[in-house]
Amino acid sequence: MNVSIIGTGYVGLVTGIAFAHAGHHVICVGRNPDKVESINAGKAPFFEPGLDILLRRVIAQKRFIASVDFSRSVIASDITIVAVGTPTVDGSIDLTQVKDAVALVGEALFKKRSYHVVTVKSTVVPGTTEQVVWPILAQASAKSAKDVGLCMNPEFLREGNALEDALDPDRIVIGSLDNKSARVYAKLFAKNTCPKFFTNLSTAEMSKYVSNVLLATLVSFSNEIGDIAAQTPGVDIVDVWQTVHADRRWSPKVGNKRITPGIIHYLFSGCGYGGSCFPKDTKALYRFASDKGVSMSILGSTIAINDKQPHRLVELASRALGELRGKRVAVLGLSFKPNTDDMRESPALIIMRELVARGADVTCHDPEAYKAEVPESLHQLGVTLEKNYEGAIKNAEAVILVTAWDVYRKISPQEFVRLMAHPLVIDGRRIYDPLKFIKAGVHYVAVGRGPGL
């Protein structure tokens, strides 16, 4: 099928490349000519493992192209997918980009006679596709439901594993205005054998939020338990989580083999969640519920706990060093998780802001997060960005580990001792062996580690 995707960001580009790999012909539409040119040269504007390799392959196969020609791209396709950003402003979802994109799609479809399906892939609160998108689309195109189909197809892409999720999804949810819309859109997934759920539009919209909010709640619950452990002599939360994870309801046994499902990684204490989805989606659903008069106390606590968690690492540094003013503190990891360069809502930014506010001299490093360009948020902070982790930790009086990149896992305690002015390591992701670090002479401090250990 011929597919146009409005948006050359994370969701739009990954989705487009996956559809092209499946044999469809895809045009990704963007506004930025430089970004479009880069994509057509085989270079994605963000880091995702394996993405550039597959991008170059589908371009060579003439199944994928990026374009700034909005109208022509829509008219040349059978299906248009809207995959633009839906940030939160003051806790509420901002639909500006969605509305603008849909209006332009409608204007393009005004010139087209054949049946066309428009699908919302952007994350939107329940009711948006039918109550906001459809009226704009119908008015701009001057067409009815018999001429234009409407679907909602939420994305479930994990940054760092997005290509895998797009190529081999664990489920496909298609909400639709009518059966014809769903039937035509589902042709895109003819080769996929995973479960397919056909729902109404609002149910599809809600499924995305529930998925993300549940995982975010597990993270905040884990961090709250970690805080209790940190105040309890002799308790290490890592040992506690090992016993919890062994429950067959979390880690089922098939014969003598233990299965370790991905969900238990969200049941582990750390710095808190970040990224482009969890922070905005939890806030948007919380406000959506509040506007309907529904009190979501668990979700409210999830957000509040996560807001506090990065500050706890700064407190650990302060307790160990005393006054932070004038102290050299290194932060390892800027992206919100490994295998992505996404720094949106990253705990590292919150940690560095507070360190700077307390007068610390902050250095930092990340393997990917600022390769393309240094974000303005970092320029404004006045921190020193180093090209390698050795430069970041050299002569530091404390290191705060924020992102569990493999390159950081391999740093030996002896290297911290050799390079640092004072070997104090604050392990915000619990990736190091405490006994090995203490034996090597490192002052080891970590989330969820109680007094006396």
* C-alpha closest to that of 333 among 379, 368, 384: 368
Active site residue 151: no
Which candidate in 28, 151, 271, 277 is catalytic? 277
Measured CA distances, 278 to 89, 219, 336, 355, 395 (Å): 15, 10, 11, 24, 36
User: Which two three-digit tokens encode residue 430?
Assistant: 């619990």
Whether residue 142 contacts residue 111, with contact meaning beta carbons closer than 8 Å, is answered with no
Q: Is 48 helix (H, G, I), strand (E, B) or coil?
A: coil
* Residues 392, 393, 397, 399, CA torsion sign: positive
Measured CA distances, 269 to 43, 279, 327, 403, 446 (Å): 35, 17, 27, 13, 10
Between CA 123 and CA 120 the distance in angstroms is 8
At 365, which helix (H) or strand (E)?
A: strand 361-365
Between CA 175 and CA 133 the distance in angstroms is 14
Q: Is 252 helix (H, G, I), strand (E, B) or coil?
A: coil
Measured CA distances, 105 to 4, 9, 115, 287, 405 (Å): 10, 18, 14, 29, 41
Q: How much helix, strand and coil, in percent to the nearest 5, is found in the chain?
A: 45, 15, 40
User: How many Cα neighbours within 13 Å face the side chain of 191?
Assistant: 12
User: Which two three-digit tokens encode residue 343?
Assistant: 């720094």
Whether residue 177 contacts residue 130, with contact meaning beta carbons closer than 8 Å, is answered with yes
Positions annotated as catalytic residues are 277
